[in-house]
């Protein structure tokens, strides 16, 4: 056969016409099988499996002598043996069989490897079908290429030991376990012609996220979405223990799967002397049966029956480390936890151990698998599908190839009218919801909103004008089923893990979306965020991986307004968590009002390869900036609000009042108002920060300011009282090398909170207007010396406000009704689409 490396059509990295690909995919989707698998095909499957196993063992152990063309010597073996064998042969088995079925049915398929530790297996399969050499041209299809393939694995400067961004065909790292099914379903949504074969490790199956992700099938539309085939890889052992699902009765396991909404098909092999062809025949027949069942579901759906079927799944019970040495040093290895990692960890220490390794490698018959030059045997290659249909080359697994820009409306069309600052009020996410409604209207098949039962609570309910929550469990009727339909752009399940996992799968296969959640509970996915950020960071440096849409968070139930919920719902630390990751992939925005939120989100939806964290409260709050001002402000990322300050032209201010976040902005403006009235001789500069990364040094973050820019805005030597949305230290961290850093005094959340009124909450944390004024007095030398009276009045105002809330259960009127003084009482006269703050305050309509 000809080398595939010269065929650009076959590479996942080459130019691709998404429309053409989709049309080809649709033409052959969901074909039935032929119903028979001949012995020749079974032999090809067997050979592919054998070759993949050989290449896997080779990667783990060999530094040289890749084809065993000479006796194995100690120096051929890597000095440090790092990798995981246990799950690998099972993954290879499944890949080989899927290859057969994909080729026969021409069914576009991707392979999600839950047990991502089995990295060598996926690399092996991608090498066998030719993809690997296409994307990595130095890993050639000959003996030297094999040597490089082996050496690079889990080796300094080489590739990771897990399935990783470096692995062609993967959208799933699998180092941190639990997300295989969520990723698989995310990939399947809106890909009606795609089959996602998702291998679930039985260790992984013990994690919480995986345990609930089986229920994803209640959120699938069988017509518009693709199909997920879960395969439970029940090999029985983890690092040092059996797995729970392997040690319950067959009946319980079957019931569990039925309870999850699946029809289980149980396959067991490798525990007796059954010959390989017989095993392969049984599995091929079973796989055909399952794929035909899926095809039947698709047919019924195409015929209009969208009710949730019982989806098939496979229980794949095989020995851990299957085909490896049965025993090592007299201890059972294959079929035990001892096969989890490197079963023969001492291959270099004695000739006997070296012989075990050599026998093991020879058991796969490498001479039958590769020709004299080391090229993969034609029969093996012939098993796999060709071109984009190879699971390692399927464009869905390199989503940037298929990514289409969103058709975005002009966000300016949704602007809030702001005749003068803080004269109108809005719930910013509600306004964003109107914009997103139009986004959904224009992008009916590649944009989704994910959230744990909180889309309306987070004020995006306008989107229900054009879409619904997708749901495919039972319905009860419109009286109680609120915007619930079998197809819709909003995905709600009460699991942050599911929302994040679905969205990741959706993005990595080339689509767009956002995740709206409570700020405190987004910590639930801290670890998933880590993995996604790492994925993006690594893919930025892999040329054949194309950029994907950013992962956008909207955290609108934030720390400062947890009226129904209190202390357990207060935590602004996700931002701190996020900024630990590489600057090249994270962005944090704190738009202070509705227009800045619109501008920010437009930017986020156009961006690529970032994680964008946007925090914007859902409670009624003043609009500060007109749309033109908002665009300018967001473009700068931060700026001086001259209208709010009291500095004269050509003069340095006495003090800078800085703010980041909506609630801090309100308090800073109220403090500035007090200072204008009470201390008119004080020159106050008000600075607002939208893009938090602007505070960092330009050398540390691409959005960072130079020191000169920073000094121009914040001054080099004046006191800066900084009211910040989150934990105060982050501001210090971002600015600690700035000239004025010793003058920065930050007020933020200090883990003091309980159920209170809004102002009581900011008072508890010393972020309130009165305290900010006190801070200013304390830090401006001449004011400190002369303003004891004003300071005392501020202390009294706090005490009065506190007493009021304790008695009345709501904020003191002077706070509740405060508006920016330039505009007097117009707030309550505004009868436009935006509710005034007072009108909304009493409704208690704040869900959850």
Residue 565 · residue 532 · CB < 8 Å: no
> Which of 303, 351, 543, 845 lies at the binding interface for a second copy (CB under 8 A)?
845
Q: Does 254 bind a second copy (CB under 8 A)?
A: yes
> Which of 315, 456, 514, 692 lies at the binding interface for a second copy (CB under 8 A)?
456
Strand, coil or helix: 659: strand
Strand, coil or helix: 354: helix
Stretch that binds a second copy, among 266-274, 426-434, 649-657, 840-848 (CB under 8 A): 840-848
Q: Indicate the residue among 672 and 744 with the shorter CB distance to a second copy.
A: 744
Which residues pair with residue 311 across a beta bridge?
Answer: 262
Minimum gap (Å) between residue 738 Cβ and a second copy: 11
> Which of 131, 167, 336, 446 lies at the binding interface for a second copy (CB under 8 A)?
336
Stretch that binds a second copy, among 46-54, 363-371, 438-446, 490-498 (CB under 8 A): 490-498
Site for a second copy in 571-590 (CB under 8 A): 571, 573, 576-577, 580-582
Site for a second copy in 533-572 (CB under 8 A): 534, 537-538, 563-569, 571
Minimum gap (Å) between residue 176 Cβ and a second copy: 6
Q: Indicate the residue among 454 and 602 with the shorter CB distance to a second copy.
A: 454
Per-residue burial over 533-547, b if 16 or more Cβ lie within 10 Å, else e, is bbbbbbbeebebbbe
Site for a second copy in 819-838 (CB under 8 A): none
Q: Does 313 bind a second copy (CB under 8 A)?
A: no
Is residue 257 within a helix (H) or strand (E), and if so which, with residue range?
helix 250-259
Is residue 621 within a helix (H) or strand (E), and if so which, with residue range?
strand 621-622
Site for a second copy in 756-775 (CB under 8 A): 756-757, 760
Site for a second copy in 53-72 (CB under 8 A): 63
The answer for residues whose C-beta is within 8 angstroms of residue 525's C-beta and 6 or more apart is: 496, 497, 499, 500
Site for a second copy in 140-169 (CB under 8 A): 151, 154-162, 164
Residue 186 · residue 502 · CB < 8 Å: yes
Q: Does 232 bind a second copy (CB under 8 A)?
A: no
Q: Does 618 bind a second copy (CB under 8 A)?
A: no
Q: Indicate the residue among 260 and 641 with the shorter CB distance to a second copy.
A: 260
Cα distances (Å, whole numbers) of residue 389 to 135, 186, 343: 16, 20, 34
Stretch that binds a second copy, among 340-348, 664-672, 674-682, 784-792 (CB under 8 A): 340-348
Minimum gap (Å) between residue 291 Cβ and a second copy: 24
Is residue 119 within a helix (H) or strand (E), and if so which, with residue range?
helix 119-128
Minimum gap (Å) between residue 172 Cβ and a second copy: 11
Counts of helices then strands in the chain (DSSP H, E): 29, 22
Stretch that binds a second copy, among 199-207, 414-422, 503-511, 769-777 (CB under 8 A): 199-207
Minimum gap (Å) between residue 362 Cβ and a second copy: 22
> Which of 28, 307, 362, 754 lies at the binding interface for a second copy (CB under 8 A)?
754
Q: Of 291, 318, 339, 298, nearest to 232 (Cα)?
A: 318
> Which of 209, 270, 325, 661 lies at the binding interface for a second copy (CB under 8 A)?
209
Ramachandran area for residue 459 (φ above 0: left; ψ -120 to 50: alpha; else beta): left
Question: What's the angle, vertex CA 561, arms to CA 656 and CA 808, rounded to 5?
Answer: 100
Which residues pair with residue 312 across a beta bridge?
Answer: 263
- Rounded Cα gap, residues 766 and 749, in angstroms: 8
Q: Indicate the residue among 445 and 482 with the shorter CB distance to a second copy.
A: 482
- Rounded Cα gap, residues 684 and 680, in angstroms: 9
Residue 845 · residue 620 · CB < 8 Å: no
Write the interaction track for a second copy spanning residues 289-308; mark x where CB under 8 A is met and - where it is not: --------------------
> Which of 441, 703, 718, 732 lies at the binding interface for a second copy (CB under 8 A)?
732
Task: Using the structure block, give the residue that is written with the tokens 């899927």.
Answer: 98
Site for a second copy in 787-816 (CB under 8 A): 802, 805-806, 808-810
Is residue 577 within a helix (H) or strand (E), and if so which, with residue range?
helix 574-578
Write the interaction track for a second copy spanning residues 497-526; mark x where CB under 8 A is met and - where it is not: xx---------------------xx-xx-x
- Rounded Cα gap, residues 588 and 596, in angstroms: 13
Residue 234 · residue 246 · CB < 8 Å: yes
Q: Indicate the residue among 384 and 815 with the shorter CB distance to a second copy.
A: 815
- Rounded Cα gap, residues 171 and 502, in angstroms: 12
Ramachandran area for residue 477 (φ above 0: left; ψ -120 to 50: alpha; else beta): left
Q: Does 691 bind a second copy (CB under 8 A)?
A: no
> Which of 122, 184, 197, 342 lies at the binding interface for a second copy (CB under 8 A)?
342
Q: Does 450 bind a second copy (CB under 8 A)?
A: no
Q: Does 652 bind a second copy (CB under 8 A)?
A: no
Stretch that binds a second copy, among 21-29, 532-540, 591-599, 601-609 (CB under 8 A): 532-540
Ramachandran area for residue 112 (φ above 0: left; ψ -120 to 50: alpha; else beta): beta
Q: Indicate the residue among 388 and 496 with the shorter CB distance to a second copy.
A: 496
Minimum gap (Å) between residue 542 Cβ and a second copy: 12
Three-state SS string over 478-508 comes to CCCCCCEECCCCEEECCCHHHHHHHHHHHHH
Per-residue burial over 273-294, b if 16 or more Cβ lie within 10 Å, else e, is eeebeebbbebbebbbebbbbb
Q: Indicate the residue among 506 and 574 with the shorter CB distance to a second copy.
A: 574
Q: Indicate the residue among 523 and 676 with the shorter CB distance to a second copy.
A: 523
Q: Does 716 bind a second copy (CB under 8 A)?
A: no
Q: Indicate the residue among 529 and 624 with the shorter CB distance to a second copy.
A: 529
Site for a second copy in 79-98 (CB under 8 A): 79-84
Q: Does 352 bind a second copy (CB under 8 A)?
A: no
Stretch that binds a second copy, among 243-251, 396-404, 406-414, 603-611 (CB under 8 A): 243-251
Strand, coil or helix: 311: strand
Query: What are the backbone angles phi and psi of residue 701, rounded to the nearest 5°?
Result: -140, 135
Q: Does 137 bind a second copy (CB under 8 A)?
A: no
Stretch that binds a second copy, among 120-128, 367-375, 431-439, 732-740 (CB under 8 A): 732-740
Q: Indicate the residue among 158 and 409 with the shorter CB distance to a second copy.
A: 158
Cα distances (Å, whole numbers) of residue 605 to 403, 550, 551, 608: 13, 7, 9, 8
- Rounded Cα gap, residues 594 and 434, in angstroms: 11
Q: Of 610, 636, 631, nearest to 410 (Cα)?
A: 631
The answer for residues whose C-beta is within 8 angstroms of residue 157's C-beta and 6 or more apart is: none
Stretch that binds a second copy, among 299-307, 401-409, 623-631, 749-757 (CB under 8 A): 749-757
> Which of 138, 252, 367, 796 lies at the binding interface for a second copy (CB under 8 A)?
252
Query: How many residues at the interface with a second copy, by CB under 8 A?
Result: 143
β-strand pairing of 195-201 with 109-113: parallel
Minimum gap (Å) between residue 242 Cβ and a second copy: 7
Minimum gap (Å) between residue 360 Cβ and a second copy: 16
């Amino acid at each position: 056969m000809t080398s595939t490396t010269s065929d650009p059509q076959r590479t996942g990295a080459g130019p691709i016409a998404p429309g053409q690909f989709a049309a080809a995919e649709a033409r052959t989707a969901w074909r039935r099988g032929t119903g028979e698998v001949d012995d020749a095909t079974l032999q090809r499957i067997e050979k592919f499996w054998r070759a993949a196993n050989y290449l896997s063992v080779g990667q783990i152990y060999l530094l040289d002598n890749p084809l065993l063309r000479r006796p194995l010597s100690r120096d051929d073996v890597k000095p440090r043996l790092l990798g995981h064998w246990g799950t690998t042969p099972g993954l290879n088995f499944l890949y080989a069989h899927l290859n057969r079925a994909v080729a026969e049915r021409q069914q576009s398929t991707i392979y999600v490897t839950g047990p991502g530790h089995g990295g060598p297996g996926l690399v092996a399969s991608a090498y066998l079908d030719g993809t690997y050499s296409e994307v990595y041209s130095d890993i050639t299809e000959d003996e030297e290429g094999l040597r490089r393939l082996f050496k690079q694995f889990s080796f300094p400067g080489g590739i990771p030991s897990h399935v990783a961004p470096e692995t062609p065909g993967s959208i799933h790292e699998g180092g941190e376990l639990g997300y295989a099914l969520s990723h698989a379903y995310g990939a399947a949504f809106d890909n009606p012609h795609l089959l996602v074969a998702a291998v679930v490790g039985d260790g992984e199956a013990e994690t919480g996220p995986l345990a609930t992700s089986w229920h994803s099938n209640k959120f699938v539309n069988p017509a518009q979405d693709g199909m997920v085939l879960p395969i439970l890889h029940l090999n029985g052992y983890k690092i040092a223990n059996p797995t729970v699902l392997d040690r319950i009765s067959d009946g319980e396991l079957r019931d569990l799967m039925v309870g999850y909404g699946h029809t289980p098909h149980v396959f067991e092999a490798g525990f007796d002397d059954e010959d390989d062809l017989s095993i392969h025949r049984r599995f091929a027949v079973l796989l055909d049966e399952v794929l035909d069942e899926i095809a039947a579901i698709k047919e019924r759906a195409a015929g209009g029956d969208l009710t949730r079927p019982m989806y098939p799944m496979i229980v794949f019970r095989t020995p851990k480390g299957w085909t490896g040495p049965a025993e090592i040093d007299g201890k059972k290895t294959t079929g035990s936890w001892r096969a989890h990692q490197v079963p023969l960890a001492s291959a270099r220490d004695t000739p006997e151990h070296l012989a075990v390794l050599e026998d093991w490698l020879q058991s796969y018959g490498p001479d039958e698998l590769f020709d004299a030059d080391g090229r993969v045997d034609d029969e093996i290659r012939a098993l796999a599908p060709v071109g984009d249909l190879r699971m390692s080359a399927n464009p869905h697994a390199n989503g940037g190839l298929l990514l289409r820009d969103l058709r975005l409306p002009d966000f300016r069309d949704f602007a809030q009218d702001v005749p003068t600052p803080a004269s109108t009020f809005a719930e910013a996410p509600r306004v964003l919801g109107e914009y997103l409604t139009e986004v959904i209207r224009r992008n009916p098949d590649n944009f989704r909103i994910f959230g744990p039962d909180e889309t309306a609570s987070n004020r995006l309910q306008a989107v229900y004008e054009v879409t619904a929550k997708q749901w495919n469990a039972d319905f009860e009727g419109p009286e109680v089923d609120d915007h619930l339909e079998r197809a819709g752009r909003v995905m709600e399940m009460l699991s942050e893990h599911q929302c994040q996992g679905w969205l990741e799968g959706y993005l990595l296969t080339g689509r767009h979306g956002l995740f709206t959640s409570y700020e405190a509970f987004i910590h639930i996915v801290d670890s998933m965020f880590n993995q996604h950020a790492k994925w993006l960071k690594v893919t930025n440096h892999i040329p054949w991986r194309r950029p994907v849409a950013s992962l956008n968070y909207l955290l609108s139930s934030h720390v400062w307004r947890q009226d129904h919920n209190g202390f357990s719902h207060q935590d602004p630390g996700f931002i701190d968590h996020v900024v630990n990751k590489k600057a090249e992939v994270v962005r944090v925005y704190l738009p202070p009002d509705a227009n800045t939120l619109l501008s920010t989100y437009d930017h986020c939806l156009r961006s690529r390869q970032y994680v964008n964290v946007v925090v914007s409260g859902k409670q009624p709050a003043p609009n500060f900036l007109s749309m033109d001002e908002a665009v300018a402000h967001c473009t700068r990322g931060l700026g001086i609000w001259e209208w709010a300050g009291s500095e004269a032209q050509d003069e340095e201010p006495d003090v800078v009042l800085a703010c980041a976040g909506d609630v801090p902005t309100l308090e800073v403006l109220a403090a500035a108002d007090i200072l204008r009235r009470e201390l008119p001789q004080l020159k106050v500069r008000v600075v607002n920060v939208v893009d938090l990364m602007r505070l960092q040094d330009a050398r540390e973050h691409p959005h960072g300011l130079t020191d000169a820019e920073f000094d121009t805005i914040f001054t080099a030597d004046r006191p800066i009282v900084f009211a910040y949305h989150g934990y105060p230290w982050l501001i210090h961290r971002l600015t600690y090398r700035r000239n004025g850093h010793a003058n920065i005094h930050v007020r933020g959340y200090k883990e003091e909170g309980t159920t209170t009124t809004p102002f009581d909450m900011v008072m508890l944390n010393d972020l309130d207007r009165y305290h900010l004024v006190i801070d200013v007095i304390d830090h401006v030398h001449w004011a400190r010396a002369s303003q004891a009276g004003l300071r005392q009045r501020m202390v009294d105002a706090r005490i009065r406000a506190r007493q009021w809330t304790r008695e009345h259960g709501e904020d003191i009127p002077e706070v509740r009704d405060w508006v920016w003084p330039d505009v007097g009482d117009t707030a309550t006269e505004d009868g436009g689409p935006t509710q005034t703050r007072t009108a909304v305050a009493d409704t208690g309509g704040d869900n959850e």
